[in-house]
Amino acid sequence: METFPVIDMGKLNTQDRATTMDNIKHACENWGFFELVNHGISIELMDTVERLTKEHYNKCMEQRFKEMVARKGLESAESEISDLDWESTLFLRHLPVSNMSEIPDLEDEFRKAMKEFALQLEKLAELLLDLLCENLGLEKGYLKKVFNGSKGPNFGTKVSNYPPCPKPDLIKGLRAHTDAGGIILLFQDDKVSGLQLLKNGNWIDVPPLRHSIVVNLGDQLEVISNGKYKSVMHRVIAQTDGNRMSLASFYNPGNDAVISPAPALVKENERSEIIYPKFVFDDYMKLYAGLKFQAKEPRFEAMKAVEPNVNNLVGPIATV
């Protein structure tokens, strides 16, 4: 059985670069997920972020989560719950404007550590986008330029905790979905598992690996790559033991970024048959908000109906 792809980023600067690039290409084409080691993010910083994230949950989030569980009667559920997740979340926005100073119960130490962590993740995301460009045969910087729109990309972190669940057979930690955005970088708990992806009809565990960064591709990269790369359904299984930590950082297009298949990746015989639509990212997100836990293909089809709105845009973003 094929093993989950782990990419050693340190080999990109060695004689093994070509093999490493092939491994990234294979992962993008066949998995939509891969795990990075030697990614350049400070191990000490990752340890600090993990400690502060868990401390913040214990101090500020745990009681709120317990109150929500009691209010909704989740512990006494006797049938499957399909409209809720067993998840405690906090959303931190980094770009275009940070919201961390507006969150009242964040410790200054946590704010400082997350700011530095986000800067390092941003650099890693942009490096990965250029590596994807290279593998796709696109000019360097193409994906970043598309993502920028007129005001730069959207970038934020969803800080999640998945506490012990008494009935994991009835409620998911996070229901199955594909991610709407661009490229997602996940720092996950290395002791408590739960993340799974769907491959060839089977749910496969994403292995917890100390100090790694898990990468997955969102819907926008499937569109821009004209289907060469796919966004993949994934979910989180609730566990009876252990509190799983998850920091998922989303490097997404700007709100007014125009998304469409890269012309270089559309074959001449495909130009008359539109497989993927052209749309404004914010329009897609508005649609996704109500359809997150459904298949992506109807979302792509629905966006074809709003495609003419793109033609109303003026300025450089309309030509990306």
State the pLDDT at residue 82: 86
Structure tokens that stand for 12 in this block: 């990109």
CA angle 247, 226, 149 (to 5 degrees): 60
Q: How far is CA 17 from CA 23, 108, 152, in A?
A: 10, 40, 30
The DSSP secondary-structure symbol of 210 reads T
Q: CA–CA separation, 227 vs 229, rounded Å? A: 5
Question: In what helix (H) or strand (E) does residue 156 lie, and over which residues does it extend?
Answer: strand 154-162
pLDDT at 11: 97
pLDDT at 271 (0 to 100): 59
pLDDT per residue, tens digit, the chain (320 aa), is: 679 999 999 999 999 999 999 999 999 999 999 999 999 999 999 999 999 999 999 999 999 999 999 988 887 787 888 888 999 999 999 999 999 999 988 999 999 999 999 999 999 999 999 999 999 999 999 999 999 999 999 999 999 999 999 989 999 999 999 999 999 999 999 988 899 999 999 999 999 899 999 999 999 999 999 999 999 999 999 999 889 999 999 999 999 999 999 999 997 656 556 689 999 999 999 999 999 999 999 999 999 888 545 444 433 333 22
Q: What is the pTM of this model?
A: 0.92
Phi (first) and psi of residue 257, to 5 degrees: -65, 135
Taking phi over 0 as left and psi of -120 to 50 as alpha, with beta for the rest, 296 belongs to: alpha
Select 4-264's CATH number: 3.40.50.720, 2.60.120.330, 2.60.40.10, 3.30.450.20. Answer: 2.60.120.330
DSSP percent split of the chain into helix, strand, coil, nearest 5: 40, 20, 40
CB 283 within 8 A of CB 220: no
User: With contact defined as beta carbons under 8 Å apart, do 217 and 231 qualify?
Assistant: yes
pLDDT of residue 282: 96
Q: What are the residue boundaries of the structural domains of the chain, listed by start? A: 4-264
What Rg, from alpha-carbon coordinates, does the chain have? 20
Task: State the pLDDT at residue 311.
Answer: 45
Element (H, E) at 247: strand 244-252
